[in-house]
Structures are given as C-alpha cells and as structure tokens.
Amino acid sequence: MFDIFNFRFVSHFVLRFSNFVSKNSQYTLVIIGLAMISLIFLREITLLPDGKLHLYVLDVGQGDSMLMVTPSGKQILIDGGPNLSTLSHLDRLLPFFDRTIEMIVLTHPDSDHITALPEVLKRYTIDHIVMTGVGHSSGRYDALLSEIQRRSIPVIYPDPSVDIVTGDGVLIDVLWPPALTPTLSQGERENLSSNNQSIVLRALYKNTSILLTGDIEEDAEQAILASGADIRSDILKVPHHGSRTSSSTGFLLAVDPYLGLISVGSDNRYGHPHTEISDRYLNMDIPIKTTASNGVISLEFD
C-alpha cells in the first residue's frame, strides 16, 4: 500500500537535499572563483615592476628569443625564436592587462630568430622595432615587414654612435653592425654573412652589463674588437648558439664574462653547442647555462 505520508516525507527530504547540494555547489563555485581570482592577483603582483632589471632567455628550442624587463616594467623582446613558443612565454611573463611591448629587436632575419614576431605584432602594441632592414627572402620576413607597415611601427636602424635609453636607468649601447654611411652602402654591408650582420647590443644597468650577440661569427667579433668599443660584460649571450664559428678566444678575453648563456635546442641537428666551444668556456673559467638543460634561464639584477 502506498503511504502518502512517507511519500511527502521522502519528497521533502529529497527537495531539501537537492537544495543543500545546489547551494553548496554555488558555494563551491564561489570558492573556486575566489581562489582563481586570488591566484591571478598574486600572479599579477609578482609581475609588477620591482626596480630590478630582468633577463629571461626563453626556452624556444633551437633558436633565440629573450625578454628583458626594465626596472619600471618596460619590455624589450630580442628575437622571436624558431617557432611560436615565444607567444606562450609572453603570456606567462607579461602582466595580464599589459598589451604593449616597448621594443622588439630582430638581430637578423634567419628563421630561428624571427618566427613568432609577425604574430607578436598582431597581439601586442609595439612602440619600436630595432632591425637592420637587411634584404632577406622568406615568408616570415615578408609577413613581419607587412605587419610593420600596416601598423606604422617606428623602425630604429642600429647606429653605434647612438645609444638607446629606456628612461629608467637602462642604457643600451649599440655595438654592431656599423651604420650605413655614404662610404658604407647597404649592398657593401650585405657582403657580410647574414649571421655577421646580427645586431649586437650591450645593456648597462647600475653595475651590470649584458652583451647580446645574435649569431655573429668570428669576422664580426674581430671587427667589434678592432672598433675599440668597450665590450667587457658580466653576462654574455653566447654568439650563434655555441657554434665553433664564434666565441673566438680574443673576443672572450675582451668580454671577460662571469656567465655565458646559450639558447639551444636539445639534440639539435647542428650539434650546438660544439664541444670545443663548451671546453673553451670551461678552460677560461666561464660557466655556461643552456636552455636545453635549464629551460627558461631567468636572471635579475638589482
């Protein structure tokens, strides 16, 4: 026999229980939401300007991409790697609401340095781009040039007689390549290999100096030495991924770094860094860190 009382009791119990679960689901959702907001807030706090200079050698595989963040939080992206992984690094390292990158440097347009840059230009506002304007035939380079034109991004052509200042204590000394002059035409400069036309910069902040070398090889190293420029630096981004074409002994003696950083993919087809170059650094008591072994290399300078 069907007991109406029990049916009402059970219905009432089921209804109360449903409400309880429903309310607690809402509480759970609220708690999860608050936790996520707190995590985002904490993340944003850690990314706020902290008065230090930061250098991140991004782990992009066999290529170069580095992010420098100045003491007031300005970002300088040097190169765009061999793939699109620079984009996910930028997602992680830039504050959520910061959609401006103050400066991009394309050291040279080889595919292992340029690939993510056209997409970076689509996603962020770029204040300036530093590049040589060297002639180069590739789809990514064409895409970059058309994005620069479409967005009217001011291009700075490197000139060793003109420093770049960020306005918050960081000075970027342009070392290479030589500026175009009436006696040095674009055609003559392009007699240099693509690697040897890489932009070389020395960033200075307080007592710290960082030398960024792109893929220069021994010819450019010797020319920079011959220019008499001050290249002594605490940190050296090892030229050309530790290739035997670069890191000549005289150059290393003049730079005299206490740390060398190599951006390189594990088991890459070039065998970078070459064993004799790794040995040269070790014999000169210069420790090296590679992205293949360390992942993203993160340094900060106070």
Q: Tell me which residues touch Zn ion (CB under 5 A).
A: 112, 215
- For Zn ion, which is the closer residue by CB, 112 or 147? 112
Nearest approach, Cβ of 62 to Zn ion (angstroms)? 8
Distance CA 229, CA 246 (A): 18
Which of 215/218 has CB closer to Zn ion?
215
Q: How far is the CB of 81 from Zn ion (least distance, A)?
A: 10
**What residue ranges in the chain does DSSP mark as E strands?**
53-57, 66-69, 75-78, 100-105, 125-130, 155-156, 164-165, 170-176, 200-205, 208-212, 235-237, 259-262, 288-290, 297-301
Edge-first strand order for the sheet with 297-301 is 155-156, 125-130, 100-105, 75-78, 66-69, 53-57, 297-301
Q: Which is nearer to Zn ion, 114 or 204 (CB)?
A: 114
Shortest reach from residue 108's CB to Zn ion, in Å? 8
Closer Cβ to Zn ion, 47 or 134, answer by number: 134
Burial of 179 (0-12, 13-18, 19+ CB in 10 A): middle
Minimum Å gap between C-beta 79 and Zn ion is: 8
Minimum gap (Å) between residue 110 Cβ and Zn ion: 6
**Alpha-carbon gap, residue 199 to 211, rounded angstroms:** 11
Kindly tell me which of 173 and 215 has the beta carbon lying closer to Zn ion: 215
Q: Nearer Cβ to Zn ion, position 166 or 291?
A: 291
Question: Residue 52: which residues within 8 A CB-CB, separation 6 or more?
Answer: 71, 300, 301, 302
Minimum distance of Zn ion from residue 273's CB (angstroms): 12
